[in-house]
Amino acid sequence: MEHRNVDVAILGAGTAGLSARRAAKKAGATALMIDPGPFGTTCARVGCMPSKLLIAAADVAHNASEAAPFGIEIPHVKIDGPAVMKRVQAERDRFVGFVNDAIDTAKQEGELLVGRGRVTGPGKLQVDEHTEVTFKRLVIATGSSSFTPPPFRGLEQAMLSNEEVFELDDLPGSMLVVGLGVIGLELGQAFARLGVRVTLVGLGGTVGPLSDPAVKKEALDVFGRELDVHGDYTLHGIEPVAGGVQVRFQDSQGVERDEFFEKVLMAAGRSPNLRNLGLETMGVKADDWGQYAIGFETMQLGDHPVFVAGDVNSIRPLLHEAAHEGRVAGRNAALFPEIESPPRQVSMGVVFTAPQIGMVGQSYAELQSCAAVAGEVDYGKQGRARVHRKNAGRVRVYADKDSGVLLGAELFGPAVEHLTHLLAWVVQRGLTVHEVLELPFYHPVIEEGLRTALVDLRANLHQGERIKCQVSEMGPGA
């Protein structure tokens, strides 16, 4: 068996792991990544990039089918399923190739072991049956995996996760999407726009990451005009049949349904890949809820020489956050026991549905201070949006009632990926409503809708009602 000795061992060679390796080396430490593959990062291989490729095809098909109101007749829109999936896979492979260049470099430099690593004791781990590694500090960047609820287990012939759906050779005839989070909404709408009969079901009224009741209601209403979507459903039974599954359920309108679906896209959530890593051999223990204490700014796991970065920590499962966390984890692992606590950037997220969903800073659910007010705009009435027949959605912006400093926003509307970025910059700079309204707004652009929301917010600073505290049974801030 081969033996390796290294300053920083890194479990995982995705976005966070690659970032951690670079940071650890820059800080003067030796580093070794350990990963069983496949390589290419979650984003490039099975996440943000292939999903956007599918969405792009769906948008083209949808726009062509909706051309008549503009006075443009397209008699028949034909969707070639194999051609759609072939392009998704070809372009996906290009993105993966860029990442694999970095993987190849790490291999050539002897800084990547291919295999599954497991900690066997303080400062020791084993990679499959071929290598023992002695390390001083550990970075865990093992990512997450799709979670399948018990009623849907054992249906492998029909089940798809985001790790399998992009391998389809053709579009299925029908699909049940379980979960109305980011993956379920994006892919469910995309497949529907590509001619697949899709039903989307969720629990608890979840609509992506939205928590503001007004924005959630608008989103469900708008999506409901296009999609067979149900924010709450009750599953009565699901069983395999020839060519797919038969599903019995009650939808959110109380209608009992018994329907066949060729495929089930499982988008009910993801679980961090922390099991079976052998952390207990280092004295690392989870709490009574199975959670680990991970520093929000330092990435340190408790007081151990262990740092956890990327999707595996469930803090902010986004690519740009994983890259940041990897840099912090790698540098702190190299510097340990001296560690740094760099400030986090303002959080932001985008769901690439149509209309899009955006989240910036504090969400409605996170406004705990009882000192916040909101301003909003109805995109059903916004000029530029109406020009393009994209006039649907609602944006709510939050500010501190006393200072006027912007705190965050929940957005649902056309192209809000751009508004999300603008607001993230504004919130991070600590600007007030008054200062932002002094900045220029062009006409006619989608961004004018933001100005409308800010004007409403400014008025509410003086005469609007405070947003009620989101108080749990454990008390404010619990």
**Are residue 136 and residue 281 in the same domain, yes or no?**
yes
Residue 468 included in any domain? no
The pLDDT value recorded for residue 45 is: 86
The pLDDT value recorded for residue 471 is: 44
**Are residue 359 and residue 246 in the same domain, yes or no?**
no
- pLDDT, averaged in runs of 10, over the chain (478 residues): 96 97 98 94 88 97 95 94 97 92 93 96 96 98 93 93 94 98 97 98 96 96 97 96 97 97 96 91 83 93 96 92 97 97 96 98 86 94 94 97 96 97 97 97 94 96 74 36
Give the end of a domain, one of 218, 247, 268.
268
**Are residue 16 and residue 103 in the same domain, yes or no?**
yes
Residue 475 included in any domain? no
Distance CA 80, CA 278 (A): 48
Please name the residues in contact with 66: beta carbons below 8 A apart, sequence gap of 6 or more: 389
Q: Count how many domains the chain has.
A: 3
The pLDDT value recorded for residue 468 is: 64
Residue 472 included in any domain? no
Nearest to 305 by CA among 127, 124, 133: 124
**Are residue 386 and residue 283 in the same domain, yes or no?**
no
Predicted TM-score of the model (pTM): 0.94
405: domain range?
A: 348-463
**Are residue 101 and residue 29 in the same domain, yes or no?**
yes
The pLDDT value recorded for residue 415 is: 94
Give the end of a domain, one of 310, 335, 360.
335
DSSP conformational letter for 244: E
Q: How far is residue 416 CA from its own chain's centroid?
A: 16
Please state the φ and ψ torsions of residue 343, each to the nearest 5 degrees: -65, 145
Please name the residues in contact with 278: beta carbons below 8 A apart, sequence gap of 6 or more: 118, 119, 120, 125
**Are residue 141 and residue 278 in the same domain, yes or no?**
yes
- In the structure encoding, which two tokens stand for residue 8, read together? 């920083």
Residue 398 included in any domain? yes
Residue 476 included in any domain? no
For the chain, the distance separating the N- and C-terminal CA atoms, rounded to the nearest angstrom, is 50
**Are residue 169 and residue 35 in the same domain, yes or no?**
no
The pLDDT value recorded for residue 369 is: 62
In this structure, are residues 139 and 333 in contact, taking their beta carbons and an 8 Å threshold? yes
The pLDDT value recorded for residue 477 is: 35
Hey, what amino acid is at 233?
Y
The pLDDT value recorded for residue 469 is: 54
Residue 292 included in any domain? yes
Give the end of a domain, one of 335, 360, 381.
335
**Are residue 259 and residue 315 in the same domain, yes or no?**
no
The pLDDT value recorded for residue 36 is: 95
**Are residue 362 and residue 455 in the same domain, yes or no?**
yes
**Are residue 31 and residue 111 in the same domain, yes or no?**
yes
**Are residue 13 and residue 141 in the same domain, yes or no?**
yes
- Is there a cis peptide before residue 317, judged by omega within 30 degrees of 0? no
Please name the residues in contact with 156: beta carbons below 8 A apart, sequence gap of 6 or more: none
Here the contacts of 324-328 (C-beta below 8 Å, separation 24 or greater) are 324/19, 325/16, 325/19, 325/299, 326/15, 326/16, 326/17, 326/18, 326/19, 326/20, 326/23, 326/139, 326/141, 327/19, 327/20, 327/22, 327/23, 328/23, 328/297, 328/298, 328/299
